[in-house]
Structure 1
Amino acid sequence: MRHTVREKDIIFREFFKIERARVQWEQFDGSMGEEQTRYVVRRGDSVGIIPVCEKTGKIVLIQQFRYAAAGKGTDGYLWEIPAGMIGKGEQPVFTARRELLEEIGFETEEITPLISFFLSPGALDERFYLYIASIPDCATLDRFGGNRHEQEDIRIKAFPLERILRMMKESQIADGKTIASLLYYMILEGEG
């Protein structure tokens, strides 16, 4: 399958870019489709980490305010897995370790890649890399964290898998990357 980009330009540039392009792509019958205008949000790739407590099997989640979700059936305070954007020239595994330290205050070498996927490829170019990290002791995790330099204000809490599943069913966990990541983890663990 092939595609052709006729022209493209950046129509917005701040924290992310919005690209407008004239694109034509091969149809499943082998013909070329009509030229279309498409928009892509270019913001770079990201990582997410499922921190698992070694002693209890609990999963560490963070809660923070997300302006884009406020007023959309939530107050904007979402439970999520720790996650962050991959810096320029940075390897995803390095970003995962950095985000784990910044958001929940843990350093670990025991971090394993699980899967990567596109978050919303209809308009977003972001590839998401999911990792699992082993956390030795989660007893002190009911606290607050985040990188103050980035104005992060984060609540940290460990939950058993049964509670996480209930939170998802009751829409207390409403972040898509977190839901997809946790369900994938539960399937791997035979819990889903």
Structure 2
Amino acid sequence: MNSREYYRPISKEVLSDDWGLLTKHEFELLRRNGEWQRQTRETYDRGNGATCLLHNPQTDHVLLTRQFRLPVFLNGGLHSMIETPAGLLDGARADERMRKELIEETGFEVDTLTHLFDVYMSPGSVTEYLAFFKGTYSASDQTGDGGGTFEEGEDIEVMQVALTEAMRMIENGAICDGKTIILLQHLFINTLLKRA
């Protein structure tokens, strides 16, 4: 079944076009029972992105960042979020953009990244998907301090955390970012499978 067989657009209205594009859509959707239902939804489009977890196999540490996130602060009062480095693609290939983000945010430059999968993080309202990557790093890969760019309002703390401690931080709520939890659990599960 192609999209025209179950989706009929009626109208769309741009509500905001600032940092991202917020659009109100009115449409008809074919339900499973064969009836058409009129619906209204809003979508937020800011482009697609990429995220990456770097792991140091010698020390069993992972490279994470901590920064202020306004939506999280407004919703739950958290001063900062611990996350994997990430950024918008802005027309670049996902692996190229991710390498630049790693240098910008963490100060580490790595050659090889492995693409794992693409994930829609909030499909009910946000059009963005994230390309997930993994890679390895060592102390010799550090070429700068990281911290992000002042022009983008970034003030990023770089953290090297033992993988076992990062897993505990998920358990106790210190890490509550979806993309970060997915990547940490992916690494932890694969580490256990290799040891088994």
Q: TM over 0.5, yes or no?
A: yes
**Pairing of 1:45-124 with structure 2 (within 5 A):** 45-70=48-73, 72-87=75-90, 89-124=91-126
Aligned-partner SS, 1:145: coil
| Aligned residue in 1 for 2:147 | 145
1:119-178 deviation per Cα after TM superposition (whole angstroms, max 9, x unaligned): 10000001011101211228979x762222322111111111110111011110111221
Coordinate RMSD, CA, aligned: 2.1
Distance 1:77 1:139 in 2: 26
* Structure 2 residue identity aligned to 1:166: R
Q: Would you say how many aligned residue pairs link Structure 1 and Structure 2?
A: 188
User: d(CA) in 2 for partners of 1:54 and 1:48?
Assistant: 19
Distance 2:85 2:92 in 1: 17
Looking at secondary structure, tell me which structure has more helix per residue: 2
Q: Which residue in 1 is equivalent to 2:167?
A: 165
Secondary structure of residue in 2 paired with 1:90: coil
TM-score in terms of structure 1 length: 0.89
Give the letter aligned to residue 51 of structure 2: G
TM-score, normalised by the number of residues in structure 2: 0.87
* Distance in 1 of aligned mates of 2:141 and 2:22: 43
Q: Structure 1 vs Structure 2: percent identity of aligned residues?
A: 26
- In structure 1, which of residues 32, 40, 63 is the aligned counterpart of residue 43 of structure 2? 40
Partner of 1:16: 20
Distance 1:23 1:169 in 2: 41
Change (3 A) 1:166 1:77: same
Deviation at residue 74 of structure 1 after TM alignment: 4.1
- Whether the 8 Å contact between 2:50 and 2:89 is mirrored in structure 1 is yes
| Unmatched 5+ stretches in structure 1 | none
Quick one: structure 1 residues 80 and 7, their matched pair in 2 at CA, closer, same or farther if it must change by over 3 Å?
Answer: same
Equivalent in the alignment of 1:4:
8
Distance 1:11 1:134, change over 3 A: same
